[in-house]
Amino acid sequence: MKSKTEYLTINTKTRYAFVNITSQVRKIIKESEVKEGLCLVNSMHISSSVFINDDETGLHNDFEKWLDRLAPHDPINQYRHNDTGEDNADAHLKRQIMGREVIVAITDRELDFGSWEQIFYGEFDGQRNKKILIKVIGE
Amino acid sequence: MKSKTEYLTINTKTRYAFVNITSQVRKIIKESEVKEGLCLVNSMHISSSVFINDDETGLHNDFEKWLDRLAPHDPINQYRHNDTGEDNADAHLKRQIMGREVIVAITDRELDFGSWEQIFYGEFDGQRNKKILIKVIGE
Amino acid sequence: MKSKTEYLTINTKTRYAFVNITSQVRKIIKESEVKEGLCLVNSMHISSSVFINDDETGLHNDFEKWLDRLAPHDPINQYRHNDTGEDNADAHLKRQIMGREVIVAITDRELDFGSWEQIFYGEFDGQRNKKILIKVIGE
């Protein structure tokens, strides 16, 4: 069995952001020399997500508006978590809807993807360094 | 390490549908001859889901009504994604709640499942061919 | 390839509960003697979740209130699933938001985690025995 572990660091300029990390994941899969296997991609933080969806700006705007309707940031005193001095309780909720991780298949040395699948890092409490873990196993 | 990769194609008669694919996944696990391992089952599309829940018609009706309350299809002009000429922005949102993929354990050559666990393909923008990837790894 | 499979049994005193199972998962990873690999942790039930988030009581209160806003328990007759004699349709919905499973990386024999990541069993229909599956594969 082969394995390869890499970490990406992302620091978004805005509180909310969706960053396409597909090309970085492809590069790590290629370097791993795994022919058949699985690749885990997860946020190492609890106020952000890794998910797969469309690389379309309008949809990203829809996600942002929708998530803020389901788990509003304001008023921050609606959340008991924010009594600790934080203001990011909503980010912990949003991340549950969008998910922590994806597992993707590697088939014949390539990311085995549908036509429109793209991997995103979803940030809900940005403007500081955040880490993503990428782990390939297979042979 | 052994691996096996298969693809299912599903074309639902309705826009929304929940299709039980557990028996197909069991068959592929058996054919893989993997004794101990993991099996990834994911939608290769971004407007549908693979998830595990109950095979009960009333619950599926509840899911459909609930998802349409959280992410309504109409009016379609509430979503910027639909400005591109699509009408399926809601399907991209619904799929985030229900998830893209499941990973299931294979123990002693069998799907290692609780009594009520069943694997579903959840369609939110159907009536066309969609693909599901099933990848087994283990030994 | 090495593998190890274990099952935890949890019986919560309340209908809703969040139970930190990180130390049990770490122990099983250590016992597996896997140096590089993946570990699946999933609920074997369809009315509960395994997820990763913060071990902070205020946030857990926020989760409970938020999930009951998105998928209310009462009135139970709003759900067709409850026509079967059950009263837990809401638990099946809540579990979709929080997720069934997590996959965590094992790097150099350790759980490869961010500073604040903790693994929780999320119960939405408790007061009876429920099982969690933990499966390690790697080498």
Query: Alpha carbon B104 to chain centroid distance?
Result: 13
Q: What is the CA radius of gyration of chain A?
A: 16
Per-residue pLDDT, C61: 98
**Domain at B87, CATH number:** 2.60.120.460
For residue A116, what pLDDT is reported? Answer: 98
Report chain B residues whose CB lies below 8 A from the CB of A103.
40, 42, 101, 103
Tell me what pLDDT residue A74 has. Answer: 98
Residue matched to tokens 């990873």: C29
User: In the complex, which subunits touch A with 3 or more CB pairs below 8 angstroms?
Assistant: B, C
**The two three-digit tokens of residue A28, written as one number:** 């790590």
Query: Which partners does chain C have (≥3 C-beta pairs < 8 Å)?
Result: A, B
In the structure, what pLDDT confidence band is assigned to residue C2 with cuts at 50, 70 and 90? very high
Place C56 in a pLDDT band, splitting at 50, 70 and 90: very high
Best of A62, A65, A120, A139 to substitute, by most chain B Cβ atoms within 10 angstroms, is A62
Instruction: Provide the domain limits for residue C11.
Output: 2-138
Q: What is the pLDDT of residues C129-138, one digit of tens each?
A: 999 999 999 9
> How is residue C88 written in tokens?
């837990």
Q: Which residues pair with B134 in a beta bridge?
A: B6, B41
pLDDT in tens, chain B (139 residues): 999 999 999 999 999 999 999 999 999 999 999 999 999 999 999 999 999 999 999 999 999 999 999 999 999 999 999 999 999 999 999 999 999 999 999 999 999 999 999 999 999 999 999 999 999 999 9
Task: Please provide the average confidence, as pLDDT, over all residues in chain C.
Answer: 98
Contact with chain A for residue B38, Cβ under 8 A: yes
Q: Distance between CA atoms of B124 and A22, rounded to whole angstroms?
A: 24
Q: Does C68 touch chain B (CB under 8 A)?
A: no
Query: CB count, 10 Å around CB of B19?
Result: 17
Asked if the Cβ–Cβ distance from C99 to B99 is below 8 Å, we say: yes
Q: CA distances (Å), B95 to each of B64, C9, C16, C70, in order?
A: 12, 30, 25, 16
| Banded model confidence at residue C55, pLDDT cuts 50, 70, 90 | very high
Q: What is the ipTM of this complex?
A: 0.97
CA A113 distance to own-chain centroid: 17
Model confidence pLDDT, tens digit, residues A45-77: 999 999 999 999 999 999 999 999 999 999 999
Label residue A72 exposed, middle or buried (CB < 10 Å: 0-12, 13-18, 19+): middle
Q: Is C37 on the interface with A (CB under 8 A)?
A: yes
In this structure, what is the dihedral angle of CA atoms B8, B51, B39, C45, given to the nearest 10 degrees?
A: -140
Angle (nearest 5°) at CA C63 between B81 and B54: 75
The encoded tokens of residue C29 equal 């990873």
The whole-number pLDDT of residue C3 equals: 98
Spatial neighbors of B19 by CB under 8 A, at least 6 apart, are B10, B12, B120, B121, B123
pLDDT at B67: 98
pLDDT tens figures, C100-124: 999 999 999 999 999 999 999 999 9
Identity of the residue in C59, C66, C112 whose CB atom sits nearest the CB atom of A133: C112
Q: What is the mean pLDDT of residues C74-79?
A: 98
Give the integer Cα–Cα distance in Å for A93 and B91: 20
Nearest to B62 among C43, C89, C100 (CB): C89
Determine, for residues A99 and B99 on separate chains, whether the beta-carbon distance falls below 8 Å: yes
- B59 CB within 8 Å of a chain A CB: no
Neighbours of chain B (3+ CB pairs under 8 A): A, C
Which B residues, 74 through 113, put their C-beta within 8 Å of a C-beta on chain A? Answer: 79-84, 89, 92-93, 95-97, 99-101, 103
Contact B116 C45 (CB under 8 A): yes
- Band of residue A111 on the pLDDT scale cut at 50, 70, 90: very high
CA-nearest residue to A48 within chain C is C53
The two three-digit tokens of residue C27, written as one number: 């122990």
Q: Can you give the three-state secondary structure of chain A, one letter per residue?
A: CEEEEEEEEECCCCCCEEEECHHHHHHHHHHHCCCEEEEEEEECCCCEEEEEECCCHHHHHHHHHHHHHHCCCCCHHHCHHHHHCCCCHHHHHHHHHHCCEEEEEEECCEECCCCCCEEEEEECCCCCCEEEEEEEEEC
pLDDT tens per residue, range A27-46:
999 999 999 999 999 999 99
Q: How far is A135 from chain C (nearest CA, A)?
A: 7
Tell me whether C137 touches chain B (CB under 8 Å): yes
User: What pLDDT is stored for residue B137 in this prediction?
Assistant: 98
How many structural domains are present in chain A? 1
The encoded tokens of residue A128 equal: 């500081």
